[in-house]
Structure formats: structure tokens, C-alpha cells
Amino acid sequence: MAIRNIRQEGDEILKKKSKEIEVVDDKIRELMNDMVETMHKYDGVGLAAVQVGILKRVIVIDLYDGKPILKLANPVVLKTKGTQKVEEGCLSFPNKFVEVERPNEVTVEGINENGDKVKITGTGLLAQALLHEIDHLNGIVLTDVMLPGTMQYLDQNNGK
């Protein structure tokens, strides 16, 4: 496994649409594992392959809740329900946080690391993370979905 470089705000690749995976093979599993290691190094909850410069429809999510890490290829939103206003950050936009409105529940279908088709329903933070990472696969970034006037910067000097 390896730590990959995270593409930052302003990098043109972040605005590009990622391509579907034909098959989850050892190369894709290696990418997924590298993405998990990278996400953990930078204390992220989720990461999309485009954020490490790979235009493939692959995401990983870890809510640090004792449940298995989610590794998905070709995730597609099947349905959403409800709404929630939440503060959201992004590893590609370090120290920036915005308020967004997202569905409170989402059902997503994709292919897991074993190549099996899976359907996942998530609420709260899982719904938020799934939608955030799928946005990345479609070239949509944090500043595209923020509610007007809500960008907040974390002051690195005093942690606020």
C-alpha cells in the first residue's frame, strides 16, 4: 500500500467526470487500499479516486464507527429521502468548511472490492459522505454545492 498525493483546490482534474470501472481486479483493489491509507493519513472520512489523480469511479469511506470500510466502484444513487443541513469539509480543500444541504438518507448501488454488486442505504453522516464522494466522481466539488455565504476557514494558528 502507498500514500497517494491528494489533488488540491484549483487542480483541473477535480472538475472532470470519472470513467466507469469494467472489472474490479487486483489493480483496482490496490487503488482502493492506497486510497484508504491516504484517507486515514489525512484524517478523512471519504476519498474519491479523482482526488488522487485517477479518473476512475472508485470511492472509499470510513466513518470510524467500527463497521467495515466501504470500498465501492461505479457507485450510483438510486434514491434519496429527507434533507439535512450539515457542515462539510474536503481533503482537496484543506481547512475550508461549508454548509450544504443534502438528503438525510440515500440508497446507492455499486460494486464492492470483491466484484460483487451491492446496495447500501445510509443515513446522516454516511449519506453525506456517499453523496460527497459521488459528487467528486461527477466533477462536482465542495464549492459547487455550498450554500451561499457559508465558506468558513479554519484558522490554523488557533484551531478555530
Residue 133 is among the residues annotated as catalytic for this protein: yes
CA-CA distances (angstroms) from residue 30 to 17, 76, 144? 21, 22, 30
Pairing of strands 152-153, 84-90: unpaired
Residue 71 CA to residue 75 CA, distance in Å, equals: 10
136 within 8 A of 14, measured Cβ to Cβ: yes
Catalytic residues: 133
